[in-house]
Structure 1
Amino acid sequence: MRTIDINISLTDGDIDEFPNKDNVGLVEVLNNRVMITLSRNAMIGLGKQLIKLAYTNFQDGYHVHVDPCEEGYTSQPMGFYSHPKSAEIIICCSEFESIDKCMK
């Protein structure tokens, strides 16, 4: 089994920098389906930001908007740049019951 060690800063404002800015994701809505396509570095950036969110700002209803990049505006609030052709993503925190209770 392969393992890796990853250090995640829980300090607000700390976002991993990928020198080539190749941490890019594209979200598309296709006939009632959502397809999320991420580069390897976007997967790493998103994963780290989700773990950070779970340990720092998690509260029911808290949410983060990820807007597509455009000329003069780029941001990566969840560890990746959203492709200019991407749909906006809103990542929300919620305290769900167990899946068994949700299925009833």
Structure 2
Amino acid sequence: MLKFRLKYGAEVWVNSIDPNESAMIEFSGNQDWVEIIRDQLKRQYGAFGHLIGTSTTPIDLAAALRSPGMARFQPELIEGAELVERYDPKIPKDAVT
């Protein structure tokens, strides 16, 4: 699981055990703020430039929450740091990306 605590008492997470495993994005906290955060998050981009929707991977959720568009919510990683710290996209060094 990768879980963040945000300003206004909200939490956002994906229940995945692999950095590339997609899961539904889950939220808890004040429902008014959850809706604002949900709306803003779905407009952010993942690690490789695609929009975040209603489900994503831990690596993409981390990228989206650490983006400038989410800075006002002051995301703090509270669980699952090992999922994003040890991430290896397995792209060969000579690949064109």
Q: Work out whether the TM-score is over 0.5.
A: no
- Give the TM-score normalised by structure 1: 0.30
Q: Which has the higher helix share?
A: 2
- Give the TM-score normalised by structure 2: 0.32
